[in-house]
Amino acid sequence: MQNPELEYVERAEKTPLSCRIVSIENSSPHWHYEYEIFFVLRGSISVHTEEGDWRLKDGNIILFNACEIHSINQPEPGNLCLVLQFNPEIFNEIYEKSSFRFDLNTCKETGIPDAVCQILRSDLAKIGLLMHEQPNGYQFFIKSHLYDLAGAMFKHLRYEVGSKSKNPMDFKLKDFDNIKNYIKQHFATEINLEQMCLDLAMSRAKLYRILKEAGTESYKSLVNFYRVEHAKGLLRSGTSSIQHIAAVSGFESDSTFYRVFGELTSVTPSQYRESPRNTQTSLGVQGYVGFSMPKALSVLREYCA
């Protein structure tokens, strides 16, 4: 397995999770500090972890624990998956000093009873529908279903309990979130490192240590991540010149913009703008392809029933 990357997980506004319905082509080996659940709605995917390889088909579910390295490929085109990522901090509301590794893989021979699988599928499908439809107060319903899911995990799944202090990959998630949020708010300007440390009330050494523990090369790499994400939104939604987009995204020159955009997306800004909307992928380690949203929502409703 090639060197794994850290994936930055951006949670939806005012919710404790990220939930996407995607057709996945591949993902390079990666890890994140969040738990991640893959629920295969249609088709199949091949999953590779340090524990083994599995092929998941319709209705199968697998959970990747925090900091667990994994990658995914498609055996054949046409899969559709729900991907849920949530922060381990929700468990710390009850278990302040513990970490948990859950065993959720419906492909294993020591499988989970069908009744339990249906509970998990239903909660996941309801979260997926809520994230797309977003009725008034949907954030409360999402939290409710996430807590239902967490309770079912503790009640029905095998899990190991560890001390957070003994986890060699553990670090203060809130500190890292604070750094990310600061950069998200200031990426369009030239960020002064000393001022950032003052505003965050942390030393330069502490900031570097947190970034290193997160697998991030430097604060500049995070800055570039959010600048390119912002630029991608402008390229998709408007007709502004690329020079204007580079400037308002915080790049000091067009040449720097082209270089960084190419490094993170493997295409030029012009190529990204001209590509069909349903082939434009999210920045990061994932490789997503287009799919029919009406079909996806229909499948989710079947699992909610």
**Alpha-carbon separation of residue 141 from 56, 131, 250 (angstroms):** 28, 10, 37
CB 230 within 8 A of CB 249: yes
Distance of CA 104 to the CA centre of its chain: 18
d(Cα 213, Cα 215) in Å, to the nearest integer? 5
Q: What are the residues facing 35 on neighbouring strands?
A: 86
138-172 pLDDT tens trace:
999 999 999 999 999 999 999 999 866 544 444 45
Q: Which residues of 261-270 are buried (b: 16+ CB within 10 A; e: fewer)?
A: beebbeeebe
Task: Convert the pLDDT of each residue in 111-138 to its tens digit.
Answer: 789 999 999 999 999 999 999 999 999 9
Per-residue pLDDT reduced to its tens digit, 51-105? 888 999 999 999 999 888 888 888 887 899 999 999 888 898 898 878 899 999 9
- pTM, two decimal places: 0.69
- The CA distance from 106 to 102, in Å, is 12
282: pLDDT confidence band, cut at 50, 70 and 90? Answer: very low
Give the phi and the psi of residue 240 in degrees, each rounded to 5.
-60, 150
Domains defined for the chain, CATH in brackets: 5-167+287-291+297-304 (2.60.120.280), 173-213+216-274 (1.10.10.60)
